[in-house]
Amino acid sequence: MQRFNDGYFGQPRRRSQPANHEIRIPARRPNYGQSGWPYDRSEGQAHIRQEAPTTASRPPASEAHQSETASAEANKWKEKYTRLYAERENERKRIEKLYAQQAAHQHERLLRDMLPMADNLARALEHSDGNDTGLVEGMKLTMKAFAATLTKYGVTPIEAEGQRFDPNWHEAIGAIPHPTLPPGTIIRVEETGYRLGDKLLRPARVFVVAG
């Protein structure tokens, strides 16, 4: 059997060709750290030759967007507060108006219920025979005090006799012919009417001259 001592496959080995036992080591690649950037390990220390860009070195491009977002959020809450405040004020005014109307209605009702007392005193004075002067004087004083109380609360009687009939203040319950007075003139008052300020509290029930 042929021995291969002189070269590969029987060919003589050239003197310039390295022996088979020599190992060629490839060139070392740069060392990369965890960040992926090469390090220089000269002088026994490792330092970064080129630093990666950090957040601090980036331009604050998002600050304007954040400011606009905060301003929009503030305007949103301001608009919501203004709307809720307006609704609350409208509700408060509505309730105050309702309470005022109810109080005025109760006030008018109370005064209207007191008017029959004045009617009864007036009828009693008209039908008195004058024999008991003390009783008559007492009824007159009572009538006067009662009228003063009504005036204190803004209630005044409506002047009707001899006036032209006005449906806003008078209620006609009959017509009587008269030779001299023009038609529509109030000739007799059956029940005195009252007003509360400029508002009708009770119309005067009257007889008018027939036309």
Domain residue ranges of the chain, discontinuous segments joined by +:
155-211
CATH of the structural domain 155-211, one choice from 3.50.50.60, 3.90.1150.10, 3.40.630.10, 2.30.22.10: 2.30.22.10
Mind listing the pLDDT tens digit of every residue in the chain (211 residues)? 445 444 444 555 555 555 555 555 555 555 555 545 554 455 444 444 455 455 445 545 577 777 888 888 888 898 889 999 999 999 999 999 999 999 989 989 999 999 998 888 888 888 777 677 788 888 889 989 999 999 999 999 999 999 999 999 999 999 999 888 999 999 999 999 999 988 999 999 999 998 7
- Residue-wise burial string across 126-140, b where 16 or more C-beta atoms lie within 10 A, e elsewhere: eeeeeeeeeeeeebe
Spatial separation of the C-alpha atoms in residues 107 and 101, rounded to whole Å: 10
Q: Is the pTM of this model over 0.75?
A: no
Spatial separation of the C-alpha atoms in residues 165 and 207, rounded to whole Å: 9
**Which of 115, 102, 204 minimizes the C-alpha distance to 160?**
204
Spatial separation of the C-alpha atoms in residues 111 and 153, rounded to whole Å: 8
